[in-house]
Structure 1
Amino acid sequence: MRYSVVSRFRGTLLGALVGESVASSGKKEFQNRCDIDRIAVLGTESLIALGRLDLDDWRARQQQASANLAVTDSISLKVILATLPVALFFHENTFKLRQNLLRVLKIWEDDPVVRDGTLAVGYAIAQTLTEKLQPRTLIPETIAFIGETPTSLPQQLLKVNTLLDRGAALERAQVELSREDKLSSAIAMAFYCFLSTLEDYRLAVLRATQYGNVWRQDHWRLHLHSISAITGALSGAYNSSAGIPVGWQILYSQANSATWELNNFSQMVELADALVAVWSGLYNHAQHSGQVSAVGDFIPEEEASLFLGEAIPQGSRYNSGNQSNAQPPLSVYAAPRVIRSR
């Protein structure tokens, strides 16, 4: 495995955060927005707490936090960002991935382009996390995953494939992709920036924020934040958190913390780590109860690496210090489909 699942989960969420901030840096913020970023955090917390997708719990958390669910055209692409936790949580099974992405979209008004974009981004992230992403076949596979649709997104993605085969420059791609529906074009542009600079997170995001002559128009500029964030999520999943420049993480941490309702940047890392733990089924077995508590029962990494039956090192919280050969509690590390159904 090129990168760990943990680092890819982190890379996806942090990549979206940093990508959006790079696009916002030095530019006037648009007043017309909703709390989609905040909803993504609330959705992640719901998945962590329940270990499954529960739309009622998502809505309850949003109402309690007074999050704005109204989606306008200028920020409709941010719905895709709100579904990133679901894409991560169900990445190992494409059937459940599609099923649950479509379920979570019911929280918002049904926009066919946003639906197709959510499926496209979710599938690309899933292929990355399962180490199956092949640049030459990703676009055709993504179109097949979307299925029959009245939108122009499949045609736009085919244009991306052609542009990549020809080695087309960024400005040419912007011209070609700006001729159709602007939402589909924005999603396709994010895929172009990601696939044209597959191994370089920094360059992918910088290309996503460049203003071409066509994209200087207001109705295109409205989507630049989302294009950069989606590009950041895709590239972050592929290159992991290690591929995101440390300087950017430090520079944009405070801005992102305010936008995403986090006290500090490290809390997003903690959310990503907890989401991996719940997804993987890595828990401590609660002594004498036969129950697993929802919070606080994740096994630390250094202790999870122990083999069953191996003696616990001195100083571990499972060893009181009086037993040099104490045995670790029974633990399980497996994919969630092995542990429980969702």
Structure 2
Amino acid sequence: MRYSPISRFKGTLLGAFLGGSLASGGEIQFQSYLDLGKMAVLGTQSLIALGRLDLDDWIRRQQEQSLHLAATDDTSIKIIIATLPVALFFHENPIKLRQNLLRVLNIWKDDPVVRDGTLAVAYAIALALTEKLDPLTLIPQTIAFIGETPTSIPKKLLRVQNLLAQGVGLSRAQAEFAREEKLSNTIAMAFYCFLSTLEDFRLAVLQATYNNNSQVLDATPLSSKATGAITGALSGAYNGISGIPVNWQVLLLQSNPPVWGLTSFSQMLQLTDAFVAVWSGVYDLTLNPRELAEEGCEAVLLSVYAAPRVIRLR
């Protein structure tokens, strides 16, 4: 395996955070769109607590935090980021992945573009985590995973593939996807930035957040953040946390800023560690110390690690 699951899990979530925090020119702005992934954190906490997907628990946690999505421009991107924990938790099984993504999407409005964008991003992440992502076949496979749909996302993904085959540069790609449906354009640009710089996380997110092209009509801060967040998640899943520039990681560790509703960046790392533990089937003996202790003896506090599909809950 090229990168460990924990590296790819952390790369996905940290990549989405960094991609959504970059300003044009590569400057990290920690105070920008802090709530972009707040629902993703709540979903992760639910999966950790229950070891399975429970929509009622997701809804309860959102209500407790007063996270009621209004019909605003950033609603769609927040929903896609919110489904990242589901993409990670069920990435090994495409059937369960699709079923559970559609279940989670039922929490919010039934928007075909949001649905197709979510399926596209999640499937690409799943292929990256299982090391089955081939840049030459990713887009056709993703379109097949989406299935028949009235939205323009499959056509725009095919357009991305054609642009990449032609070696088209960033400026032309931005001009190509600067009109009509904003979310479908965001998904297309994220796939372009990711696939055009497959092995370079830094360059991928810098491309995604670059908006100084005068031909780009909708280069707003929000669209830049959205494209950066999705590109960061895709590239982070593929390159792992080791692919994220060390100086960016050091900056995060030193400044330890709030992350998506959490009090600090270090808290996000701890949350991801716990998430990977639950996914992998780690048995926490501290929860049931007597089960492996001899009568009259103190329990030795250990954690038992199992291979995937052995003792993991679903």
- State the TM-score, normalized to the length of structure 2: 0.88
How far apart, in 2, do the equivalents of 1:266 and 1:145 lie? 35
Cα pair 1:198 1:204 within 8 Å, conserved = yes
Alignment of 1:1-342 (within 5 A): 1-23=1-23, 25=27, 35-211=35-211, 212-217=213-218, 220-252=220-252, 257-285=257-285, 286-289=288-291, 318=300, 331=304, 333-336=306-309, 338-339=310-311, 342=314
Structure label with greater radius of gyration: 1
SS of the residue 1:59 aligns to: helix
Q: Deviations over 1:176-233 (max 9, x none)?
A: 2234422111110000000000000000000001112233536x54311110010001
Q: CA deviation at 1:83?
A: 0.6
Cα pair 1:21 1:256 within 8 Å, conserved = no
Q: Deviations over 1:229-268 (max 9, x none)?
A: 1000100111111111122234356888435122221111
How far apart, in 2, do the equivalents of 1:16 and 1:341 lie? 26
- State the TM-score, normalized to the length of structure 1: 0.81
- Structure 2 letter corresponding to 1:140: P
Cα pair 2:37 2:82 within 8 Å, conserved = yes
Q: Deviations over 1:69-127 (max 9, x none)?
A: 32423442221111101100000000000001111111111111111010000000000
Gaps of 5+ in 1: 291-316, 320-328
Assess, with a 3 A threshold, how the Cα gap between structure 1 residues 260 and 254 changes in structure 2: closer, same or farther.
Answer: farther
Cα pair 1:201 1:239 within 8 Å, conserved = yes
Q: CA deviation at 1:137?
A: 0.1
Cα pair 1:281 1:335 within 8 Å, conserved = yes
Q: CA deviation at 1:34?
A: 9.5
Gaps of 5+ in 2: 293-298
How far apart, in 1, do the equivalents of 2:198 and 2:273 lie? 24
How far apart, in 1, do the equivalents of 2:115 and 2:18 lie? 24
How far apart, in 2, do the equivalents of 1:225 and 1:53 lie? 28
Q: CA deviation at 1:331?
A: 3.8
Assess, with a 3 A threshold, how the Cα gap between structure 1 residues 271 and 173 changes in structure 2: closer, same or farther.
Answer: same
Assess, with a 3 A threshold, how the Cα gap between structure 1 residues 257 and 62 changes in structure 2: closer, same or farther.
Answer: farther
How far apart, in 1, do the equivalents of 2:248 and 2:185 lie? 27
- Structure 2 letter corresponding to 1:124: A
How far apart, in 2, do the equivalents of 1:133 and 1:154 lie? 18
Q: CA deviation at 1:168?
A: 0.6
Assess, with a 3 A threshold, how the Cα gap between structure 1 residues 88 and 100 changes in structure 2: closer, same or farther.
Answer: same
- Structure 2 letter corresponding to 1:339: I
Partner of 1:312: none
Q: Deviations over 1:251-298 (max 9, x none)?
A: 3568884351222211111111111111110214534348xxxxxxxx
How far apart, in 1, do the equivalents of 2:124 and 2:263 lie? 30
Percent sequence identity is: 62
Q: Deviations over 1:148-198 (max 9, x none)?
A: 111000000000000111111001111222344221111100000000000
> CA-atom RMSD, angstroms?
2.6
How far apart, in 2, do the equivalents of 1:203 and 1:244 lie? 10
Cα pair 2:205 2:232 within 8 Å, conserved = yes
How far apart, in 1, do the equivalents of 2:34 and 2:135 lie? 33
SS of the residue 1:237 aligns to: helix
How far apart, in 2, do the equivalents of 1:82 and 1:253 lie? 24
Aligned length: 303
Partner of 1:307: none
Q: Relative contact order, CA 8 A, sep 6+: which one is greater? A: 2
Cα pair 2:52 2:313 within 8 Å, conserved = no
